[in-house]
Structure 1
Amino acid sequence: MNQLVRMSQIGDAEQIAEPSAELRVPFAKSGAFVCKFIIGEPNDAAICCGAPVADGKSWCAFHRRIVFEPTRPGRIR
């Protein structure tokens, strides 16, 4: 049986663990240097990941791998 595999799953040298649910905070109360990845539905009561980010990005390493898919070599645009 064929299965759909994301390019990001192929050749992963290191696995990044999902951040703890204890870090989650309401989006409206999230400050600087925390992951802004929305968990669930984006509405007035949105909850974001809240994991610390030290590199000034909007998402932690775990969620960045979900948001961005690496380009494949030889892909025609």
Structure 2
Amino acid sequence: MNQLVRMSHIVTADAVEEPSPNLRVPFAQSGAFVCKFIIGEPNDRAVCCGAPVQDGKSWCAFHRRIVFEPTRPGRLR
């Protein structure tokens, strides 16, 4: 069943700025408190975002928005 969802319901959160490319580090050298979102192809020379993260999460706020789909009001499950 299709539902009409207004764009204002989907894009209500504040915009999060993309982290600087200067923060990127090789995945193998990434530490405990940096974003592990892989930029480009996941291979043995993978590079991750490297932006600081909060509360021990794996991804920064910008990349969490890409990884997780936001909930939408009125969505059937």
Into which bin does the TM-score normalised by the smaller protein fall? 0.7 to 0.9
Equivalenced residues, count: 71
Tell me the amino acid that sits aligned with residue 11 of structure 1: T
The structure with the largest alpha-carbon Rg is 2
> 2:40 matched to 1:65?
no
Paired residue for 2:26? Answer: 26
Q: Show the counterpart of 2:43.
A: 43
Shift of 1:26: 0.3
Structure 2: which 5+ residue stretches go unaligned? Answer: 1-6
Contact 1:8 1:69 (C-alpha < 8 Å) held by counterparts: no
Q: RMSD of the alignment, in Å?
A: 2.1
Partner of 1:15: 15
Deviation at residue 9 of structure 1 after TM alignment: 5.4
For residue 75 of structure 1, report the CA deviation from its aligned partner.
Answer: 2.7
Q: List alignment gaps of at least 5 residues for structure 1.
A: 1-5
Runs of 4+ in structure 1 deviating by more than 3 angstroms, as ranges, are 6-9
Percent of paired sites with the same residue: 75
Superposed displacement of residue 51, structure 1: 0.3
Change (3 A) 1:70 1:7: farther
TM-score for the superposition, normalised by structure 1: 0.80
